[in-house]
A and B are shown apart, each in its own frame.
Chain A
Amino acid sequence: MAEPNLVLNNPGSDTTREQDLIARVQHGQTELFYELVRPYERRVYAAALAILRNESDAEDVAQEAMLKALANIRQFRAEARFSTWLIQITVNEALMRRRRERTVVMEGIDDRRDEEGEYTPRDFADWREIPSEALERKEVRQRLADALATLDRKYRDVFVLRDMEQLNIQETSEALGISVASVKTRLLRARLMLRDLLAGGWERGWFSRLPFEKGSKPW
């Protein structure tokens, strides 16, 4: 377990080591599996939570998903990203749980709801520099989580998988079983809605006491 913090902070930093771990687990060293998945446990949990919106269900599903990944580790193919594979299993598991707990009829209605209408931004306030330091504060994270929670679930699911879980568009479409075009449409709407929800508040000084640093934009 060398340098666990390094691995945790940057899961992609040690792919050789990860491949080695995968190979070992595939050959029966299942006791190494937790070490393999530990860098992703937060993302796995977050994916489950975003879909289920209940902490104990999310934890249970996250565990179930990891167990499935372990049971099926031999099916993992090296050309895929391990993290993506893990997240996709989690998403399937979470969607299954959610479907089990809601009626199929409701699901059908939800799927038919219109999404063709264009979304017009309402708030044109400028954000200042991105205050990523603000994320150190729990109330800021809570604000963001609250905003996300107000989105319809079909927008939230896509946003969470693409922008929080970092799946690409194609992977998101496969994980949710919707078309690439739908992913793009919903993603656009989710991003614009969140921007509207947050931009004005940001400018009006939710975080005005925070010491924003200039020039910290990563793009």
Chain B
Amino acid sequence: MVDRQELKCEHVWREISNYVEGDVDAGLRAAMDEHFKTCQKCKSVLEGTRNVIELYSDERMIEVPAGFGRRLERRLEQGARARGSGWSTWSAWLVPVAALALIAGGVRIASSSTIPHPLQSEHAQPGRDIPPDMLVIVTAGAKDFHAPGCGVIHNKDTERTLTAKEAIQQGYVPCVRCLRKYLETAELGHTSLEIEANTSRDADEEDVRARK
């Protein structure tokens, strides 16, 4: 609980963005409301911050180049046509995605829960080939599920076992390492076989396959 009398301007500025978001607790909100009544400076910062948000959120801030929509429509038509006849370009972009994942892995290794969803779900799409009743492992704070014995399970003391189907339903995505083979057969096709050929598999992974 914040003492209203003690609230300093510096504290208000630190929280002003959260305040605008509605992301401060009731006590702090009340203290800040009180502060804004008497502090003209902070009131001014608050109003200005709101103005900034209001102005930039206006759709008129976004201008697209002339002909943008027409060119987009044409490219989508081409894409749809190409796709209808065995579209193959999207397996080509998975290579840069995989490369990015490797690069990004260095930065994000400590925070596996912050990997962007679309990136992950696109290349680690809950594979149709993962047996739904396969037992997999999830842990607190991570969004991946793993085959038993996977070498990259963090937070092992919070391990929980459930079926792949349940894990997917709960929003977990397959670990790209231990469940790679399912994902590749499901999504990548022949392009990725080269990647896999260069990668040694975990013995545990083989166990899973044998059990299957």
Contact = CB atoms under 8 A, between A and B. Distances in A.
Interface string B82-94: 0110010110010
Most A Cβ at <10 Å: residue of B23, B61, B125: B61
Contacts of B48: 126-127, 195, 198-199
Given A96-B96, A120-B10, A188-B16, A41 B115 contact: no
B193 interface: no
A202 B48 CA distance: 10
Given A30-B80, A66-B76, A145 B107 contact: no
Contacts of B53: 163, 191
Contact of B90 (A34, A71, A136, A187): A71
A contacts with B: majority SS: helix
B122 interface: yes
B117 A121 contact: no
B40 to A, nearest CB: 8
Given A30-B83, A33-B80, A121 B55 contact: no
A194 to B, nearest CB: 5
A141 B61 contact: yes
B65 to A, nearest CB: 6
A144 interface: yes
B56 A148 contact: yes
A94 B44 CA distance: 36
Contact of A42 (B18, B64, B96): B64
B58 A132 contact: yes
Interface string A39-69: 0011101100000000100010011101110
Interface stretch (B97-105, B131-139, B158-166, B194-202): B97-105
B96 to A, nearest CB: 6
Category for how many chain A residues contact B:
35 or more
Nearest to B73: A34
B107 A41 contact: no
Interface in A146-193: 148, 159, 163-164, 166, 169, 173-179, 184, 187-188, 191-192
B89 to A, nearest CB: 8
Given A174-B117, A195-B49, A68 B93 contact: yes
A92 B116 contact: yes
A135 B57 CA distance: 11
Given A42-B64, A75-B122, A127-B47, 6 more contacts: A75-B121, A92-B119, A126-B44, A127-B44, A144-B56, A173-B114
